[in-house]
A and B are shown apart, each in its own frame.
Chain A
């Protein structure tokens, strides 16, 4: 049985779904331990017990968030050694990947990012080249470091809950000596919508929205979806760059992707390729997006989207 260490950064008052997924995936491989950074609330501790976690590690210092990546990587290295872990799981956020990157060098361990499934023998599955290939990869090192994409595992509590032991891990000093310091941080106003990379449904707008994301946002809210955008729309300044999906933006793999006013040039297709179901609305019947849409509507998004929004509200009561 492998010893699996899961890194959970600032769990807050309750564990995110993606963290529960990591705990579930880890348990399928062996004994699990968690390395936490930040506050540990009673609810989070209870969730660890419910998910069968054997040990919970916490850093000896509270200032890891004041440094960029390096300090957390140093802490996690010490936690891996304390836990005797052979598999380390992290979330697939930009920071998760970079902590994994540095941890890999510190431990001489192979790193695989963007993992969507994991076999018992450690084979990791992922999709590459904007979803055009599915690959399987393995590390060749005693320790494996894997960053796992959200929404690929169903969270499931352990059959028998545990009574996790808590231990403090001394953070190595070299994690902060050459690290960039965070000198200011401003929270952005929360949209109240799900996170784009993790969303079950994404409604995305492109050039065709012509500056007005209203219909896209209203449909998204009716569906409980995240809002995405093509590069043309973010470059035009119609919506924040955070919303960009595609080659240079975010890769999404939702259950449903609704594309409105996006022509579907190859760079835009790249971001939606792995969606389970694609719906496209575009005025131009020749748009390449219709080649990959499961349901396509040749029509004006300013007519179709508001009508769909009203209909959804009516049916949902």
Chain B
């Protein structure tokens, strides 16, 4: 199988995150591989391993779009077990919204499928920075492929896949033919940690750098210029401040209800 996993380099949510500069993009100091993408990578590795791994010709390609630092998301993916890495980077990509991002990624996926066709494009259920979940659906639309999003289980048998999806009020089984775009939830598996062997092996794996001209995208189609949305202002929310703190002396439950009544919340 030839699987492309989309991995994003995002600001670490353990620290304060900031919006800056033209178009109020995220400040990318202290960035990491988006946690939710690890589940997509793990799902890809399991599918490849079940088919004999890289020795049997299975490919797991980690593709990241972003500035220079985004190569770190690719490196982490290689340490976890991806067979090759691709870094799509170009100054013109800065500030791309979901539509422009999906345009560039769709072109990169077509480029990577030019020799041997891609069987599966796997993504996380959302990025942990933008959190819109738009890109997987937009990629499916642009590539004309079946969309299987929020999969909590995934099986591939020959040219077909079966996935389970869990919504709040129902669960469903969906089927699609390959190739397909699949996003997975954080319930699908337990992503592995890179081990020492994986970290050493990653050093010998290749990372291909692609620019917009390599994938045949005009700079005006992406970035701020090519985006269909624009952020006009961004204000940091004032931090919440602590209110009244009491220690339970046997009547805290009643005091809690008094507080709710005073706030007209009962």
Chain A residues close to B by CB (< 8 Å): 68-70, 73, 94-95, 97-98, 100-102, 104-106, 108-114, 123, 127-141, 178-188, 190, 195-196, 201, 223, 241-242, 247-248, 251, 255-256, 266-267, 270, 273, 277-279, 281, 285, 290-300, 303-312, 315-316
Contacts and interface: CB of A to CB of B under 8 A. Distances in A.
Query: Is the interface on chain B under 10, 10 to 19, 20 to 34, or 35 or more residues?
Result: 35 or more
Nearest to A309: B253
Nearest to B181: A180
Contacts of A312: 257, 260, 266
Interface secondary structure of A, over-half rule: mixed
Nearest to A306: B253
A297 B172 contact: no
B237 A292 contact: no
Q: Which among B17, B134, B137 has the highest number of chain A CB atoms within 10 Å?
A: B137
Contact of B257 (A137, A184, A256, A311): A311
11 contacts: A110-B227, A127-B237, A128-B234, A132-B16, A136-B231, A137-B232, A138-B229, A187-B170, A190-B169, A273-B237, A315-B261
Nearest first, the 10 closest Cβ-Cβ pairs linking A and B are: A307-B253, A299-B248, A110-B228, A180-B176, A101-B137, A294-B243, A308-B253, A296-B245, A292-B240, A110-B229
Given A131-B237, A140-B228, A304-B252, A68 B147 contact: yes
A134 B263 contact: no
Interface stretch (B62-70, B71-79, B80-88, B95-103): B95-103
B148 interface: yes
B171 A188 contact: yes
Nearest to B129: A129
A176 to B, nearest CB: 10
A181 B176 contact: yes
B149 to A, nearest CB: 6
B138 interface: yes
A308 B251 CA distance: 9
B248 A300 contact: yes
B185 to A, nearest CB: 8
B227 A140 contact: yes
B237 A311 contact: no
A308 B254 contact: yes
A293 B228 contact: no
A127 B98 CA distance: 17
B98 A111 contact: yes
B232 A307 contact: no
Contacts of A105: 99, 102, 138, 141-142
